[in-house]
Chain A
């Protein structure tokens, strides 16, 4: 794993969880409402249907809290009626996490050249180019995207759009 189990404040850990749910009306509201209602954090959230036949959706949440809070979040998620399965990638240590971001940088001259050079080093690809700007598409672990964004900041960073994390297990088995 890349940047999970990062120690934030004392005792606070960041964890990535995936919840496989029945894709029924209101299911996302149930999950999000659980977090807001019990005062848990959501740092990022990614949702999409993954099996149209079985009507299942996969929700991946990056959250932070003490180990006890993380344990509560997992058991509370399991308690929701439409939940099939909950996996904690940070504790399981056998997952891959990726995120995609679109990063807009505006500038001319030296800075423009430097931005392009950095993008190349990060395997970020320009998907829109004008005389005065780029939009880069970058995929990777969230920490890699953080670093790239930090580097773009002095080079004319205008706007960022991030997808949130998608996660899956390594090896042949499903979550």
Chain B
């Protein structure tokens, strides 16, 4: 049996004695943590006490624990480092649940520390007691309740290891108040080695050889890339570019993977999926080899699974073995870290002197160029009313010369327009709630991003409905001088809900109108930020420039066409080659499709 977590005597002697609360701060420092997003309460007061005037760690006081978790997600996604959250027991922990689920779905590494009632009160319905490990078990990669102070440092270091390695994800460490007060032995990170957890990161070379052969004989290949490439680190994105250089294969990406490959390059087909481009979805449907790198065949990507890319062989690279063959049967699965697998694929491609099927590839590109002529992202502009697409295009045009632009979003039409039209050239610059689709994500995420990148331009492309869910974090932005820009595409509707009601529910717009909206400019004023409003297309550029120029948080109320719909669209239950390009396409939705979300 593996006894690695048993400390040797010399290590035990090296251990220092301190309180549980001090151990928490010490472990965070030993793990290189510089920022914590948190909110105090009775059950974490000893930890807050240990944090008092501590140097080297900045605590960001949020206004709601959900905001703390999203901020930590934004921090993590824009830096590649884990995000750290500290909240109290009971309501502090339950408020964190949405963020935890969001991070689990999008594989974001977070360490969330929760206070708990003292051990002798656990199970008595004590004040602010809740079963935190029970509640968060299904929405974390792993979690712990630490009942013995001598286990605390080991658990904290394991928490970092589990959150950040393999497929990343959120973890919770629940620490009863008495454990925070007790003295115990602190051990550093080196002394800890988990008993069972061994993520597989190295690819099987036989699978790599096979993958390379399949690529060399492909006539209509496509790279289908996802968030796994971003999580694997910047080197994975570099290797991806090299592989596209070597092969000249076309490439698309999920919502989560945007930025791993530069949108400016000719091989880029745009995003795949429900609101993906015509050429990306048709290439996926008609390819003879799909090379899936760090994506998971989500229903927003596949559409109707039984008609998904029917004629292709499929390679699936994922660090999580359970993703392979989960939704779509593949011909070759590779379980590995994308960076290591890509490195081997490139090495074998080069040393075995593989060549692509040049003639076939040429014909394939000709077909793709044909699809491109559809110009599926085009829209009808107006000089009297601001079209949401136009607003995003202008934001992009006026910022694209900078390489320090970070975009977060809320959830809805604005999110899809941002994904389609704001073109990313580098990884870690695009933060959106993909798997869970959490309205209210973008504003606190922007707080976290700006905290990590003080001089950068951080813009939350928002909807007027979503932004009201976590609006109070504007106050956090003010407190920490974070000049985040909240770019609200205000269509006075929960636009994505309205769009579905229009297409699927006979235009019965049940409760999707954003009534009683606040005056966002006055609201900005009340928070101490800058409020801007634009009603006409002609005002937009100057106001965007003003938004960027002012060194303060900005709420920009961009009044856009309330009836615009987001196209192209694959209706639920349809196949990739059954896209709707505009309202004129009508689109009869099957009863089965209506059942889907």
Binding site for B on A (CB under 8 A): 21-22, 25-26, 29-30, 33, 37, 51, 53-54, 56, 68, 71-72, 75-76, 78-79, 81-84
| Given A53-B1, A84-B196: A29 touches B134 (CB 8 Å cut-off) | yes
Query: Can you offer 17 A-B residue contacts whose CB atoms are under 8 A?
Result: A25-B145, A26-B134, A26-B137, A29-B134, A51-B1, A53-B1, A75-B321, A75-B322, A75-B324, A76-B322, A78-B321, A79-B320, A79-B321, A79-B322, A81-B142, A81-B162, A81-B194
Question: How far, in angstroms, from A76 to B323 measured CA to CA in the complex?
Answer: 9
- Top 7 A-B pairs, shortest CB-CB distance: A75-B322, A54-B1, A81-B142, A75-B321, A76-B322, A79-B322, A81-B197
Flag if A83 contacts B320 (CB, 8 Å): no
Flag if B141 contacts A81 (CB, 8 Å): yes
Flag if B133 contacts A26 (CB, 8 Å): yes
Inside 8 A of B322's CB, which chain A residues have their CB?
72, 75-76, 78-79
A20 vs chain B, min Cβ distance (A)? 9
Q: Does B399 reach chain A (CB closer than 8 Å)?
A: no
Question: How far, in angstroms, from A78 to B195 measured CA to CA in the complex?
Answer: 14
Residue of B with least CB distance to A73: B322
Flag if B138 contacts A56 (CB, 8 Å): no
Question: How far, in angstroms, from A37 to B142 measured CA to CA in the complex?
Answer: 15
Q: Does B307 reach chain A (CB closer than 8 Å)?
A: no
Flag if B133 contacts A22 (CB, 8 Å): no
Inside 8 A of B370's CB, which chain A residues have their CB?
none
Annotate B317-356 by CB proximity to A: 1 below 8 A, 0 otherwise: 0001110111001000000000000000000000000000
Known: A79-B321, A83-B196. 18 other contacts (CB 8 A): A22-B196, A26-B134, A33-B137, A33-B138, A37-B138, A51-B1, A54-B1, A68-B329, A72-B322, A72-B325, A72-B326, A75-B322, A75-B324, A76-B322, A81-B141, A81-B162, A81-B196, A82-B196
Inside 8 A of A26's CB, which chain B residues have their CB?
133-134, 137, 145
CB-contact partner of B325 in A22, A68, A81, under 8 A: A68
Question: How far, in angstroms, from A78 to B198 measured CA to CA in the complex?
Answer: 11
Inside 8 A of B137's CB, which chain A residues have their CB?
26, 29-30, 33
Question: How far, in angstroms, from A1 to B194 measured CA to CA in the complex?
Answer: 35
Residue of B with least CB distance to A85: B196
Chain B residues bordering chain A, tally (CB within 8 A): 20
Question: How far, in angstroms, from A21 to B324 measured CA to CA in the complex?
Answer: 23
Annotate B122-143 by CB proximity to A: 1 below 8 A, 0 otherwise: 0000000000011001100110
**B101-154: which have CB < 8 Å to A?**
133-134, 137-138, 141-142, 145
Flag if A56 contacts B162 (CB, 8 Å): no
Question: How far, in angstroms, from A81 to B320 measured CA to CA in the complex?
Answer: 13
Annotate B164-208 by CB proximity to A: 1 below 8 A, 0 otherwise: 000000000000000000000000000000111100000000000
Question: How far, in angstroms, from A51 to B1 measured CA to CA in the complex?
Answer: 10
Inside 8 A of B1's CB, which chain A residues have their CB?
51, 53-54, 56
Inside 8 A of B194's CB, which chain A residues have their CB?
81
Inside 8 A of A75's CB, which chain B residues have their CB?
321-322, 324
Question: How far, in angstroms, from A48 to B320 measured CA to CA in the complex?
Answer: 29
Binding site for A on B (CB under 8 A): 1, 133-134, 137-138, 141-142, 145, 162, 194-197, 320-322, 324-326, 329
Inside 8 A of B196's CB, which chain A residues have their CB?
21-22, 81-84
B322 vs chain A, min Cβ distance (A)? 4
Inside 8 A of A72's CB, which chain B residues have their CB?
322, 325-326
Inside 8 A of A79's CB, which chain B residues have their CB?
320-322
A76 vs chain B, min Cβ distance (A)? 5
Inside 8 A of B145's CB, which chain A residues have their CB?
25-26
Residue of B with least CB distance to A37: B138
Inside 8 A of B329's CB, which chain A residues have their CB?
68
B119 vs chain A, min Cβ distance (A)? 12
Inside 8 A of B321's CB, which chain A residues have their CB?
75, 78-79
B199 vs chain A, min Cβ distance (A)? 10
Inside 8 A of A30's CB, which chain B residues have their CB?
137
Question: How far, in angstroms, from A22 to B196 measured CA to CA in the complex?
Answer: 8
B143 vs chain A, min Cβ distance (A)? 8
Inside 8 A of B133's CB, which chain A residues have their CB?
26
B3 vs chain A, min Cβ distance (A)? 8
B114 vs chain A, min Cβ distance (A)? 15
Residue of A with least CB distance to B167: A79
B85 vs chain A, min Cβ distance (A)? 20
Inside 8 A of B324's CB, which chain A residues have their CB?
75
A71 vs chain B, min Cβ distance (A)? 6
A86 vs chain B, min Cβ distance (A)? 11
Inside 8 A of A81's CB, which chain B residues have their CB?
141-142, 162, 194, 196-197
Interface centre among A26, A37, A53 (most CB of B within 10 A): A26
Question: How far, in angstroms, from A71 to B333 measured CA to CA in the complex?
Answer: 14
Inside 8 A of A54's CB, which chain B residues have their CB?
1
B373 vs chain A, min Cβ distance (A)? 39
Interface centre among A22, A33, A71, A79 (most CB of B within 10 A): A79
Residue of B with least CB distance to A56: B1
Question: How far, in angstroms, from A167 to B196 measured CA to CA in the complex?
Answer: 22
Question: How far, in angstroms, from A53 to B141 measured CA to CA in the complex?
Answer: 27
Residue of B with least CB distance to A29: B137
Inside 8 A of A82's CB, which chain B residues have their CB?
196
Inside 8 A of B134's CB, which chain A residues have their CB?
26, 29
Residue of A with least CB distance to B326: A72
A15 vs chain B, min Cβ distance (A)? 16
Residue of A with least CB distance to B321: A75
Residue of B with least CB distance to A21: B196
Inside 8 A of B325's CB, which chain A residues have their CB?
68, 71-72
Question: How far, in angstroms, from A106 to B167 measured CA to CA in the complex?
Answer: 57
Question: How far, in angstroms, from A152 to B18 measured CA to CA in the complex?
Answer: 65
A10 vs chain B, min Cβ distance (A)? 17
Question: How far, in angstroms, from A68 to B329 measured CA to CA in the complex?
Answer: 9
Question: How far, in angstroms, from A96 to B138 measured CA to CA in the complex?
Answer: 33
Interface centre among B137, B141, B194 (most CB of A within 10 A): B137
Residue of B with least CB distance to A81: B142
A29 vs chain B, min Cβ distance (A)? 6
B150 vs chain A, min Cβ distance (A)? 15
B336 vs chain A, min Cβ distance (A)? 15
A17 vs chain B, min Cβ distance (A)? 14
Inside 8 A of B138's CB, which chain A residues have their CB?
33, 37
Residue of A with least CB distance to B1: A54
Flag if B195 contacts A22 (CB, 8 Å): yes
A77 vs chain B, min Cβ distance (A)? 9
B335 vs chain A, min Cβ distance (A)? 10
